[in-house]
Structure 1
Amino acid sequence: MAELNTGGDDKGKKVRSKKQNSGVDLTAMVDLAFLLITFFMLTTSMNKPQSMNLAMPDKSEEVPQEEKIKVDENRTLTVLIGGDNKMKWFMGMPTTPLEGPTESTYGKEGIRKILLNKNKEAKAYSQDVEKGLIVIIKASENATYNNLIDILDEMAIANIGTYAIVDITPEEVEMLGEN
């Protein structure tokens, strides 16, 4: 038989029981924590990276002259981007522009207003809603990446369907006033 040893002898001392440390079983709480982590991992949606789709032509092959697309200069607007947030635009061909080159600014009262107006004019000129303005974007070596992104954002805001990023010519760099 088991015997309880209280540590005292029978000389009239008070018998005290030993205090035991209480233990808490945490197994259920750990299981619950893993279930909650799993639940939130599966139900939350991951942030998709924000990127802009941009299709660039292959520069390795030169397109023959007869296969190049002819574009009406009344529907073509060229945007020149330079250093120090400088921007100019013109309608038509660079050698004989129909309008411009005119200096402009980024934003609502600048290039966006011009793009919206010229897009309406191009649609009225071609009498076809599908055929709107064609914008050619040319950035100089001094242009910043932020300026290029700003002009691409303006294309999306103004709902310009057709635009291209093209290499700038020395004549157009001269138009910008850069060396």
Structure 2
Amino acid sequence: MSAEVQESGGKRGKSRQKKISVRVDFTPMVDMNMLLITFFMLCTTLNIPQTMEISMPSNDKDITEDQKSMVKASQAITLLLGGDNKLYYYEGEPNYKDYSSLKQTSYAASGVRDVLLRKNAVAVNKVRALKQQKLDLVITDDEFKKKVSEIKSAKDTPTVIIKATDDASYENLVDVLDEMQICNIGKYVITDIAEGDEFLMKNFDVKGELSKKIAE
């Protein structure tokens, strides 16, 4: 960088311009920027990665195949994912004669979430109490995770069976899986939909007309 300085002098009173170089030192500004970057890096809270827990099947060799596939009807709830964002569910074993045994809900928080929270109320309350203990520093993070895992896998917790039709969207399936984590469901499985399940949905949409025809 250069600057011009005007000087007057000489016998004839003429002025002349003299160029001198000016040096600007940016070192203090660089130091200040580095200090600011360091400050914000130390004071900023980084996002914690969100992970999804996966319940793996038991590897106990003493359990037979029949026992592995057996689910108590009183603890089972089946979710049927249909087209056009439709979601149905039934508890226990399906009743093909009574169309009202199948219930319709939604993917909203006031829909399937309320159903699962009601079904899993005992485990939800226990996990909620553990979260408070963790906040109060009564238990460590490792102890919290271990106890939550034990609560989710307890025998009295429900098992959710998820079945999707070909018309169901991938987004609907992801929404249902998110609800498993929100509602502390530790036992759930995704399986192929059966013809009987499709009959339940069709019979529900026509308010039991199909089951009436079969009975006749």
**Residue 11, structure 1, aligned to residue 4, structure 2:** no
What is the one-letter code of the residue matched to 2:114? K
What is the one-letter code of the residue matched to 2:101? G
Provide, for residues 68-110 of structure 1, a one-character-per-residue CA deviation record: whole Å limited to 9, x for no partner: 2432101111111111111111112347799822222222432
**Residue 100, structure 1, aligned to residue 101, structure 2:** yes
1:169 is displaced (CA, Å) by 2.0
Structure 1 residue runs without a partner (length 5+): 1-6, 58-62, 123-128
Task: Report what 1:133 is aligned to.
Answer: 158
Higher-helix-fraction structure: 2
Task: Report what 2:120 is aligned to.
Answer: 119
Provide, for residues 8-62 of structure 1, a one-character-per-residue CA deviation record: whole Å limited to 9, x for no partner: 98524256562524220223433443454455446645434434233466xxxxx
Distance in 1 between the 2:159 and 2:114 partners? 15
Distance in 1 between the 2:52 and 2:196 partners? 30
Distance in 1 between the 2:52 and 2:167 partners? 23
Q: CA RMSD in A?
A: 3.9
1:172 is displaced (CA, Å) by 1.7
Q: 1:56 to 1:176 in 2, by over 3 A?
A: farther
Aligned match for 1:168, one of 170, 193, 204: 193
Task: Report what 1:177 is aligned to.
Answer: 202
1:114 match: secondary structure: helix
Instruction: Say whether the 8 Å CA contact 1:134–1:162 is kept in structure 2.
Output: yes
**Residue 24, structure 1, aligned to residue 49, structure 2:** no
Q: How many residues align?
A: 162
Task: Report what 2:169 is aligned to.
Answer: 144
Q: 1:47 to 1:138 in 2, by over 3 A?
A: same
What is the one-letter code of the residue matched to 2:112? I
Provide, for residues 98-154 of structure 1, a one-character-per-residue CA deviation record: whole Å limited to 9, x for no partner: 9822222222432233223333599xxxxxx84122211111221112212222233
Larger Rg: 1
Identity percentage of aligned residues? 42
Distance in 1 between the 2:168 and 2:121 partners? 28
Task: Report what 1:60 is aligned to.
Answer: none
Instruction: Say whether the 8 Å CA contact 2:80–2:89 is kept in structure 1.
Output: yes
What is the one-letter code of the residue matched to 1:22? V
Structure 2 residue runs without a partner (length 5+): 1-6, 58-62, 124-150, 204-216
